[in-house]
Amino acid sequence: TRGGRARWLDTVFGIATGFFSSVPQYVLGTLLVTVFAVLLGLFPAAGVHGPASFVLPTIALAVAPTCTIARVVRRETAVVLEQDYFRTARGWRLSHARLYLRYALPNILTVTLTLSGLLLAGMLGGALIMETVFAWPGLGRGIVAAILSRDYPVIQGIILVLGMLATALIILVDVLLALIDPRARKS
């Protein structure tokens, strides 16, 4: 869609990703169960019954963050492609693979990796809700049971474990950024 070409495609992409990134994960999970488990009978509605039982929860968890990342990557790519250094590199008549891998991808990757780490850490909370929606055993059902029985030490323990996991994920992303982008090491 660069240069105003296929403007309708850009509009459809923006509307679709905006819509799907705004749908709450538990609502999407409930809709997926209703359509694909109850009406069509393609997947199990709840519990862990083999590989097929992973499909609906994975889709319900991944749709919103994927759409958010897609929107950011699309916007960041448009910004990078209009930068002076990229236009200069394009003037060198490099192959498309070298041009995009060497000059566009590293600049797009830093923003994308940062956002992906934050979204992945945020998906931990969504995973707790998905465990309840899909009746899976795990921390989600444990925290719901602890909340209902007002077992505060268990609630604090689970939240502490989730906070430590989120912190570890964000630190891992920072380490990856330092390995990929030399500018991050300087700061």
pLDDT of 84 over the 90 cut: no
* pLDDT value of position 123: 86
SS3 52: helix
Residue 187 has pLDDT above 90, yes or no: no
Q: What CA dihedral angle connects 146, 152, 157 and 160, to 10 degrees?
A: 110
Q: Does the pLDDT at position 79 exceed 70? A: yes
Between 1 and 10, the higher pLDDT residue: 10
The whole-number pLDDT of residue 10 equals 84
What does each C-alpha distance from 41 to 34, 60, 62, 163, 169 come to in angstroms? 9, 17, 22, 37, 36
Between CA 11 and CA 79 the distance in angstroms is: 17
Domains of the chain: 2-186 (1.10.3720.10)
Residue 125 has pLDDT above 70, yes or no: yes
End-to-end CA distance of the chain: 35
For 172-186, give the DSSP string: HHHHHHHHH-HHHHH
Residue 3 has pLDDT above 80, yes or no: no
pLDDT per residue as tens digits for the range 12-56: 999 999 999 999 988 999 999 999 999 998 998 888 888 888 899
Q: What is the pTM of this model?
A: 0.79
pLDDT class of 137 with cuts at 50, 70, 90: confident
Mean pLDDT, rounded, for 121-150 = 85
Query: Residue 4: what pLDDT?
Result: 67
Q: Is the pLDDT of residue 149 over 90?
A: yes
Question: Which tokens belong to 168?
Answer: 């570890």
